[in-house]
A and B are shown apart, each in its own frame.
Chain A
Amino acid sequence: MNRALRFAADHGLAVPLGAAIAVIWANQGAESYFRVAHDLAFAVNDVGMAFFFAWLTQEVLEATMPGGALHTWRRATLPIVAAIGGTIGAIGTYEAFLLAGDERLLLAGWPIVCGIDGGLSYLLVQFLLGKGDARPFVVLMAIVSNGIGLVAVGLHQQFTHMQLAGPLLIASGLTVSVALRWFTIKTIWVHIVISGAMLWWGFWWSGLHPALALVPIVPSLPRSPRGLNFLTDSPHGPHGSPQHVEHVLRIPVQIILLLFALVNAGMLVHGVERGALAVTVGALFGRPVGTLLAVGLAVGLGLRLPHRIGWRELVVITFASTCSFTFGLFFATAVFPFGPVLTEAKVGALSTLAGALLATAVAVVLGTRVAPAVRKRSSSTRARIIV
């Protein structure tokens, strides 16, 4: 079981596996699927995903440490510009598409198109462009774009069920977290169970999305020093330490991601509604246009493309970043309550998987696709990041 979960973690299989089960189940036994999905939705989306975002925050945090891909602004600037441009392009296209049909009901769903499935994009770029600077580039794009979406959904929930106890619990939870760190409590679960639980209730009662509740305590969690390259850490390095947050959460997070896909990806698709089209067009058209315009402008102003990434590679990276999948599904569940409109948005998030085909087609047309031998060598490097 553990081996299977580790294999799933190494190859990013949890989400596709959960999604495949969900789609088959929903279409073979819709009533039982939706009953189970509905019963699990809160536990998975609002509680379980808190562990995923804690794990993710740890990844981003370490990327900002010396040797990390985000450590210097100089290295990170162009992917950040690309992500911001792509996000603006995706949101603008989504909103314009809906306004053209006067479908105002769906306008609040713009955070959905902020999502980039970093894990999928990473694997896609590795497959199409091989080992190189393209992978951190697309991962950084995903971090920034998803970060914008997370801030949006965090604020979106405000005031829906706000209580005074919320901010007080958040402050108390943070204080407890710092105290645990001060007393060098090395067991991560102690941090999560005590201060994490306080923060979760604090977020809930403050009207903030509780899935983000563990994010503020991640810097206080025990950790071991990290290697220089966050994409190529040895599996037996510091991250194997039982006191390291990534090691502790790795398997639970894979189970949560599998359940997340299982609960959210199942749907009966009879027809494609405008909401689904808006998400698809925003991601597959708006994002590439926005990304390329922003990078073009930045290069025009003097920034340089990374080493070994030319314009052709950049176009492939851009299309590889159009798959919103996991994050699109999460943002959809965060901005729309249960109902058919949410289903429309989820159909849109799933349909952005077509971006993988687009990216492959573009790579073939532009002649950037690496030879199988090269690909085989590069895929031997284990990557741990899923954003």
Chain B
Amino acid sequence: MMRVGAVLLLLAGSAWASGAQDAALPNRPASLKFAAIGDNGTGEPPEYDIGRQMAAYHRQFPFELVIMLGDNLYGRQQQQDFVNKFEAPFRSLLEAGVSFYAALGNHDNPSQQRYPPFNMGGVRYYTYARRNVRFFVLDSDFLDPPQRAWIERALQQSTDDWKICYFHHPLYSDGRTHGSQVDLRVVLEPLFVAHGVNVVFSGHDHVYERLKPQKGITYFVSGAGGQLRKGDVKRSEMTAAAFDQDCSFMLVEVSSDDLFFQAVSRTGTTVDSGVIHRQGRP
């Protein structure tokens, strides 16, 4: 269904002194630009570094929204924790008017769905659209029958060019700590394939990974937004690219039938980039 052209760019040296390096994305005026972070909510220095690096990139690549792939806050989740573990690390982006759209992870208090800056509208799973892209946000903690019926219906009804799903637990992953969530896969993948989902983003494994297209769908794991499991990727035949040496986030641009992506490390180094071309659905 889809052709993936991707180039792995491993750039040497630290970018601390110079700040963000150039975005490896076309940065077209009418395109949809967004960022992706997962497993960020630690409130520890690496999360603040990621926040700073994202803000630096935002100055040259003005993404309008951030998709959050779950584990948005670890540990205590009182009012002050939302400040320390989310608002402070991403203050620059919030002040610049960037919207965050969160999925729930296994460490998230379900009450996060009522936290206005996460834009969840008080529900565990939801959908929204920007330009020619529709996002489907799932709660992979509990894939109950109502949610399964909802996602099937929502995917069926969508006529958008791009269908992007995101949720916390990866259907495919080479992370040693968690790996592929095969039980979820046997339920969700047939729906994704049947209804033309193009790309899936997940977190949970604290690394970056891009999988080779599986049944026509490209899967990303971006779960190192606040903490890292160094050396956790066990490369397999599924691995297209992986980075497990530092925390990271993703930048994405959807322009017409192309989705450009760039994975960026905490130091601003581009660790993976490429383009996914959308094929017309039958």
Query: Interface residues, chain A, CB within 8 Å of chain B?
Result: 30-31, 34-35, 37-38, 101-105, 267-268, 270-271, 273, 275, 336-344
B238 to chain A, nearest CB (A): 13
- Given A34-B182, A270-B177, A340-B141, residue A103 in contact with residue B169 (CB < 8 A): no
| Cβ B187 vs Cβ A338 within 8 A | yes
User: Residue B75 contacts which of A38, A101, A337 (CB distance < 8 angstroms)?
Assistant: A101
Given the complex, which residues of A lie within 8 Å of B143, measured CB to CB?
337-339
Given the complex, which residues of B lie within 8 Å of A339, measured CB to CB?
140-144, 169, 183-184
User: Residue B106 contacts which of A102, A273, A338 (CB distance < 8 angstroms)?
Assistant: A273
B169 to chain A, nearest CB (A): 5
A272 to chain B, nearest CB (A): 10
Tally chain B residues at the interface, Cβ within 8 Å: 29
* C-alpha gap A142/B187 in the complex (Å): 35
Query: Interface residues, chain B, CB within 8 Å of chain A?
Result: 75-77, 106-111, 140-145, 169, 175-187
* C-alpha gap A35/B184 in the complex (Å): 10
- Given A336-B142, A340-B181, residue A104 in contact with residue B187 (CB < 8 A): no
Q: Can you pick out 23 interface pairs between chain A and chain B where the beta carbons lie within 8 Å of each other? A: A31-B182, A34-B182, A102-B77, A103-B107, A104-B77, A104-B109, A104-B111, A105-B107, A105-B109, A270-B179, A271-B178, A337-B145, A338-B142, A339-B140, A339-B144, A339-B169, A339-B183, A340-B106, A340-B140, A340-B184, A341-B106, A341-B141, A341-B142
Given the complex, which residues of B lie within 8 Å of A342, measured CB to CB?
142
* C-alpha gap A340/B176 in the complex (Å): 16
| Cβ A340 vs Cβ B169 within 8 A | yes
User: Residue B183 contacts which of A34, A336, A337 (CB distance < 8 angstroms)?
Assistant: A34
| Cβ A343 vs Cβ B179 within 8 A | no
Given the complex, which residues of B lie within 8 Å of A343, measured CB to CB?
183
B77 to chain A, nearest CB (A): 6
Given the complex, which residues of A lie within 8 Å of B175, measured CB to CB?
270
- Given A34-B182, A38-B187, A268-B179, residue A338 in contact with residue B144 (CB < 8 A): yes
Most chain B Cβ neighbours within 10 Å, of A103, A267, A343? A103
- Given A268-B179, A270-B178, A341-B141, residue A102 in contact with residue B108 (CB < 8 A): no
* C-alpha gap A13/B177 in the complex (Å): 33
Given the complex, which residues of A lie within 8 Å of B181, measured CB to CB?
340
A131 to chain B, nearest CB (A): 43
Residue of A nearest to B179 (CB): A270
Residue of B nearest to A39 (CB): B186
| Cβ B109 vs Cβ A38 within 8 A | no
Given the complex, which residues of A lie within 8 Å of B111, measured CB to CB?
104
Given the complex, which residues of B lie within 8 Å of A273, measured CB to CB?
106
Residue of B nearest to A38 (CB): B186
B203 to chain A, nearest CB (A): 12
B76 to chain A, nearest CB (A): 5
- Given A105-B141, A339-B142, residue A38 in contact with residue B183 (CB < 8 A): yes
* C-alpha gap A340/B181 in the complex (Å): 8
A326 to chain B, nearest CB (A): 20
A34-B185, A37-B183, A268-B179 known; 10 new pairs, CB 8 Å cut-off, are A30-B182, A31-B182, A105-B108, A105-B110, A268-B182, A271-B178, A337-B143, A337-B144, A337-B145, A341-B142
